[in-house]
Amino acid sequence: MGVNIRGRHFLKLLDFSTEEIEYLLDLSANFKRMKHVGIPHRYLEGKNVAIIFEKTSTRTRCSFEVGAYDLGMGVTYLDPTGSQMGHKESIADTARVLGRMYDGIEYRGFEQAKVEELAKYAGVPVWNGLTNEFHPTQMLADILTFRENFNDSIRGRTLTFMGDAGNNVGNSLMVVCAKLGVNFVACGPSENMPDAALVETCRKLASEHGSTVTLTEDVHEGVKDASAIYTDIWVSMGEPDELYKRRIPLMEPYRVTADVMAQAQPGCIFLHCLPSFHDTNTTKGAEVAEKFGISEMEVTNEVFESAASKVFDQAENRMHTIKAVMYATLS
C-alpha cells in the first residue's frame, strides 16, 4: 500500500516514518520538475489556507503563498496585528473558528505547544512553519538539496551542523538525519548542544537506520567526514540582542571558513537556512560590525558565495517541499 498522509498534521518529523518523509521528498522533487517545465498543477482548486505568522519570514511566507497559489488555493496571511489569537481570543477558540473556514492552517511562532494546541482543536491539517523547538518544513528543503547534490544517495553520508546546535534547526536536522540513515554531527560549544533527551531519542532512531549521532567541540573531528556542512545565525529570532556579546566569542571558533570546508570530504556542500550574516550589507550586520568589530559571523562571505554553497537552492526548495506537504495532507 502506498503512503497516505491525508488529514495529518505536520508538526515535527518525529511524528513521521522514514517512508513518509521519503514520500514527501519524492513528491517535492516531482513538483519541482513540474514547476521548472511549466506544467500546471492546480490540484487543490477551491480550497483555502490560513497562514499565521507571529514571527516574520521571507522564505516561509513566500513558499506557503506561492505553493498554495500553484495548487489553485486561496491564501489568507495573518500577522500578529491581523488576529486576536492569544490576545482577546484563545488559541483553542481561534483554531475552531479558522478550522470552519479554511482547509489547512500554517503557524510560525514561538512555543511548540502553541502549534500543538492549534492542531488539537482546528479539525483540519495544521503545519508548523517554525517554532522555538522545531522547524520541520525547513528540513525537507535541506534534505532535498542534499539529495540533489549526491544523486539522491545520502544514506551513510555525514551532515555536520556548526555552531548553536541546540536551536530549532539543529534539533530538526538531528531528527531527520536519524530517520534517513544520515550520520549527524553537532559541532559547537557544549552549552549549545541539543537537549539530552532528544539526543537519546535520535541515537536510538539512528541505530535503527544504520547511522550515528555525534556531539563534539572539536572542529576537525566534526567536519572531517562531512559531505554537507550546515550553520545558522548565532542569535536566533526572538532571542535578545544582548546575547551577541556572549555568543560571538563563544561561537567564533565554529565559523564556517574556507579552511573548515577544506577539512571536509571532497565535494562537501555548504548549507544555511537563511538569513545569514556573511557581510555587513544589512542593518543588523552593520550594527553588529560596528559594536563588536566583526564583518562576518557564522560563515565567511568567501564560503557563502562559493560554488560549494547551495543556500539559494535550499531557499527555492522551501517552496517545492511546502507545496508537497500541503498537497499530501489536503488531497
| Residues annotated as part of the active site | 108, 135, 138, 232, 273, 318
What does the alpha-carbon distance between residue 225 and residue 158 come to, in Å, rounded to a whole number? 6
DSSP letters of 110-147?
S-HHHHHHHHHHHSS-EEEEE-SS--HHHHHHHHHHHH
- Please name the residues in contact with 293: beta carbons below 8 A apart, sequence gap of 6 or more: none
Q: Tell me the CA distances in angstroms from 51 to 79, 83, 166, 239, 301, one per residue in order.
A: 8, 11, 26, 23, 33
For residue 162, list its beta bridge partners.
Answer: 187, 231
Instruction: For residue 6, give the C-alpha cell.
Output: 491525508
- Dist. CA 273–CA 275, nearest whole Å: 7
Residue given cell 526572538 in the structure block = 238
Distance, in Å, from the CA atom of 185 to the CA atom of 57, rounded to the nearest integer, reads 27
From first CA to last CA, the distance across the chain in angstroms is 17
Measured CA to CA, the distance from residue 66 to residue 75 in angstroms comes to 9
